[in-house]
Amino acid sequence: MRAFFENVDLRAASAISDVSRRMFDLRERRKRLLADTGCSDSDEVLAAVREGRLPEHPGYDAWLAVCLLGDREHALHATLQWRCLIANGGKRLPPPRSGLAALAYTIRPALPSLFTGGMRLHPDGISFSGESGIQVLVRVLTPQAWSFEWHWAGEPWRLDTAPVAHPGVDSVAHVHRPDGAVVASPITLPLMGETPTVVLAFLEALARSPTLGLG
């Protein structure tokens, strides 16, 4: 290891050290999340939510976060390898991106004007701040597995695809209203499409109505 760093300039060595530290932090955060749920892995968390052994929320959000943190850790591992390659004179290829980072990069040019200046990437989600005061947190794995949480006028709302049945709700996507009621999603999202399309369709609907027409 000492021989490796003898040929690496200070800036590159610092960057490699930073990536290693972030990988460790993500791994420990993921362990804490799993410990909080009492589950050993993400599959067990989702099964517990589906079977009612964990509450839908925050259980489903914990499952999404565990998966997203794992994806981010894998991306950082690839970044570490990339930085080591560059430090040793390798070809300067574009740095790797996690799924969330790639999603943020893809949707940024097409964001509704309400959210263009307020997007922020997190290890387990993407947040958006609207000029109207609306605050949004998006956790998404696939076009069929996601949770969109937002606060408007001091009240919490959530639209998600958690595999939990609710009386009178026959759609996969459902809304948790501030009063505790759960209703079918009033908007149609392209669940069989691409992930960026789903996220943009939701943000566009939210820009039109911060309560999705349910307020």
Tokens (6 digits) for 189: 């999202």
Task: Report pTM.
Answer: 0.85
DSSP state of 114: G
| DSSP per-residue string spanning 181-213 | -EEE-SS---TTS-HHHHHHHHHHHHHH-TTTT
Confidence label for 75 from pLDDT (cuts 50, 70 and 90)? confident
The model's pLDDT over 93-104, given as tens digits with 9 standing for 90+, comes to: 566 567 899 999
CA–CA distance, 215 with 177 (Å, rounded to integer): 9
Confidence label for 22 from pLDDT (cuts 50, 70 and 90)? confident
* Ramachandran area for residue 38 (φ above 0: left; ψ -120 to 50: alpha; else beta): left
Using omega within 30 degrees of 0 as the cis cutoff, is the peptide bond preceding 55 cis? no
DSSP state of 137: E
